[in-house]
Amino acid sequence: MTRLTRRYKFSASHRLHSAAMSDEENSELYGKCNNPFGHGHNYVLEVTVRGPVNAESGRVVGIGKLDAYVEREVIRHFDHKDMNRDVPDFVDLVPTTENLSVIVEKRLRRDWSSSFGTASLDAVRVQETKRNLFELRDL
Ligand code: NI
């Protein structure tokens, strides 16, 4: 099996605030990320695909096809959006990058098998800052 990783970028804003906790607890847990008016990040999304190399194309998956799929299922729903308000997935979910990674994986999963056949989704990584990277692997 060969793994192919493709990297994408999008910019979005969020505010980390959990309705299950008091204002003081939110402030203590999330720090600056709890500021009332939110803040933005330039996220880097890495999608890893695992599969056999196709004998005719010499590829695990068509890169153009993967790009179009990730754009349609993920990027256009998040890029230049306020995640708390514009992205329905976060109506009742704190838009931490842990949760964002799970939502991205779910969205990629929706139509995956009919689009990519034998190639499987292997890992999803979302980098929020130079110091924060979140990963779902062994999918
Ligand atoms: Ni943040």
- CATH assignment of 2-137, given 1.10.8.60, 1.10.3720.10, 3.30.460.80, 3.30.479.10? 3.30.479.10
Per-residue pLDDT of the chain (139 residues; tens, 9 = 90+): 999 999 999 999 999 999 999 999 999 999 999 999 999 999 999 999 999 999 999 999 999 999 999 999 999 999 999 999 999 999 999 999 999 999 999 999 999 999 998 899 999 999 999 999 999 998 8
User: For the chain, which residues make up each domain, given as ranges?
Assistant: 2-137
**pTM for this structure?**
0.94
pLDDT of residue 118: 87
Sequence-ordered list of residues with C-beta below 8 angstroms from that of 103, at least 6 positions apart, any chain: 87, 89, 90, 93
Residue 1 CA neighbour count, 13 Å, CB half: 10
Active site residues: 33, 80, 128
Give distance in angstroms: CA of 23 to centre of ligand 1: 17
Give distance in angstroms: CA of 71 to centre of ligand 1: 22
Give distance in angstroms: CA of 30 to centre of ligand 1: 9
pLDDT of residue 39: 96
Q: Are strands 2-14 and 81-82 parallel, antiparallel or unpaired?
A: parallel
